[in-house]
């Protein structure tokens, strides 16, 4: 049942009253450029299934529908829940329906969830974490921001909305969450679509990075075969940064290892060629000799700073944590891949790996260093998947698996697909991890057709 949130009285008598779990309010409705939006705020428990009701948090979700449907018609459409990549990625803010959303809006109302800790859903930043107390208290608080809690939020919201089993589309980490959903609350699912997001169901985080380091190395080789001049340029920039102090506009120093983070461009077809345009802006002549240009440094700043999504760095390896410490897995596995070290003769660009030095060099992360250390050492992570339940799955599932994905390994993805009863895969080399951004309409249509064909 929908309940309105109580507002403070003029005398302030309710000013300190905490909203109770289950409250739901609609903030605003808007209509523009062929789409209709509704802003939803839900109050949910911080800890679901807690023995004693405790702290609550606010979860935000924006509903999107097409004006091709009247408001009354749209209110009767079934729901499609979108689970964004991450961790730490908020729901998409769009100003028109295009790509997969254009395709989905023909048949669904889309619920674009800001997963807890992101966007307007109890956002996690160093300032907000300070409310929890010391580093130990902050780390404990963050254990409630993984996929199991995100799924519990989704089920809570589904019940509040009065929806029957709904459809889910999970991109990247959103696909990991969808697998958790299938493991612990499959009764809430009508069908599941996954793009670039089949997580390994077991094993240490190390096996993930053993696989992805190899993929990133191969992608470097492919890129440098297209732009051989950039092989020398990358090495030249790394050597320059060893010998000169280059400051970004924020005052942060750009180090060789932070520069290597521009390898994030390698994760997609739609962005990879833009790396060449970035690198060509690198150097400029000055009275003191050759230096890195402000144009280049400003572009790089947006790629190497985690100020906009610190949760990504803090919780990244925990998404692979099940019953044992991750213990900075990527940093340890790096020892097997010296070609990625900045001092290598021809250093390679890196992928999405998170290293301890992030929390020493990125001002947005420095205050979270002790928290990150405690999370890396944590041994009692709860399981995120139930292999037995997945083996007997009855929910239609279709997944796009990208052969050369540098973030979610193809081989590990197929291992997972084989462990989920009835999961259909579409394996393709036409796209990389950002496929849904390149041809979302086509990918959604194909996966949707696959799940509906099983009914």
DSSP H/E element including 142: helix 135-142
Give the integer Cα–Cα distance in Å for 148 and 178: 10
201 CB-side CA count, 13 A: 20
User: Catalytic site residue 172?
Assistant: yes
Tokens standing for residue 442:
């086509």
Which residue in the list 65, 409, 433, 434 is annotated as catalytic?
A: 433
295 CB-side CA count, 13 A: 8
Which residue in the list 65, 66, 121, 172 is annotated as catalytic?
A: 172
Q: Supply φ then ψ for residue 83, to 5 degrees.
A: -110, 115
400 CB-side CA count, 13 A: 31
Measured torsion, CA atoms of residues 187, 193, 197, 203, in degrees rounded to the nearest 10? 40
Which residue in the list 13, 285, 288, 380 is annotated as catalytic?
A: 380
Burial pattern 100-133, b for ≥16 Cβ within 10 A else e, equals bbbbbbeebbbbbbbbbbbbbbbbbbbeebeeee
Beta bridge partners of residue 166, listed in sequence order: 189
User: Catalytic site residue 20?
Assistant: no
Cα-based distances in Å from 276 to 157, 237, 262, 290:
44, 13, 11, 20
Active centre residues (catalytic): 172, 380, 433
């Amino acid at each position: 049942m929908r309940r309105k949130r109580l507002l403070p009285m003029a005398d302030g008598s309710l000013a300190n009253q905490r909203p109770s779990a289950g409250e739901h309010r609609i903030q605003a409705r808007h209509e523009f450029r062929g789409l209709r939006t509704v802003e939803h705020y839900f109050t949910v428990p911080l800890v679901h299934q807690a023995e004693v009701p405790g702290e609550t948090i606010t979860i935000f979700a924006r509903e999107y529908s097409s004006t091709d449907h009247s408001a009354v018609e749209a209110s009767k459409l079934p729901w499609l829940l979108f689970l964004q990549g991450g961790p730490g990625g908020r729901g998409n803010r769009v100003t028109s329906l295009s790509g997969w959303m254009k395709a989905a809006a023909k048949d669904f109302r889309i619920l674009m969830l800001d997963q807890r800790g992101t966007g307007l859903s109890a956002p996690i930043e160093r300032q907000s974490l300070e409310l929890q107390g010391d580093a130990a208290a902050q780390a404990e608080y963050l254990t409630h921001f993984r996929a199991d809690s995100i799924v519990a939020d989704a089920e809570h919201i589904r019940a509040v909305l009065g929806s029957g089993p709904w459809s889910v589309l999970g991109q990247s980490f959103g696909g990991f969450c969808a697998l958790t959903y299938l493991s612990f609350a499959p009764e809430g699912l009508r069908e599941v679509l996954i793009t670039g997001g089949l997580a390994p169901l077991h094993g240490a985080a190390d096996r993930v990075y053993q696989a992805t380091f190899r993929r990133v190395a191969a992608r470097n080789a492919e890129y440098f075969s297209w732009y051989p001049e950039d092989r020398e340029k990358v090495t030249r920039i790394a050597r320059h940064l060893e010998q000169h102090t280059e400051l970004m506009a924020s005052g942060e120093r750009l180090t060789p290892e932070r520069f290597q983070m521009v390898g994030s461009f390698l994760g997609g077809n739609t962005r990879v060629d833009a790396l060449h345009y970035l690198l060509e802006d690198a150097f400029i002549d000055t009275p003191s000799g050759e230096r890195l240009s402000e144009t280049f440094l400003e572009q790089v700043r947006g790629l190497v700073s985690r100020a906009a999504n610190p949760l990504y760095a803090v919780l990244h390896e925990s998404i692979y944590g099940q019953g044992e410490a991750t213990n900075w897995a990527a940093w340890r596995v790096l020892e097997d891949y010296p070609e990625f070290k900045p001092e290598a003769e021809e250093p390679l660009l890196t992928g999405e790996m998170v290293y301890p030095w992030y929390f020493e060099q990125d001002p947005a992360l420095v205050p979270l260093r002790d928290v990150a250390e405690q999370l890396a050492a944590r041994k009692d992570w709860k399981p995120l998947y139930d292999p037995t339940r997945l083996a007997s799955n009855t929910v239609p599932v279709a997944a796009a698996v990208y052969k050369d994905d540098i973030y979610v390994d193809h081989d590990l993805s197929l291992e997972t697909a084989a462990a989920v009863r009835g999961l259909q895969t579409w394996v393709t080399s036409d796209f990389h991890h950002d496929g849904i951004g390149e041809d979302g309409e086509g990918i959604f249509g194909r996966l949707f057709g696959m799940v509906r064909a099983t009914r």
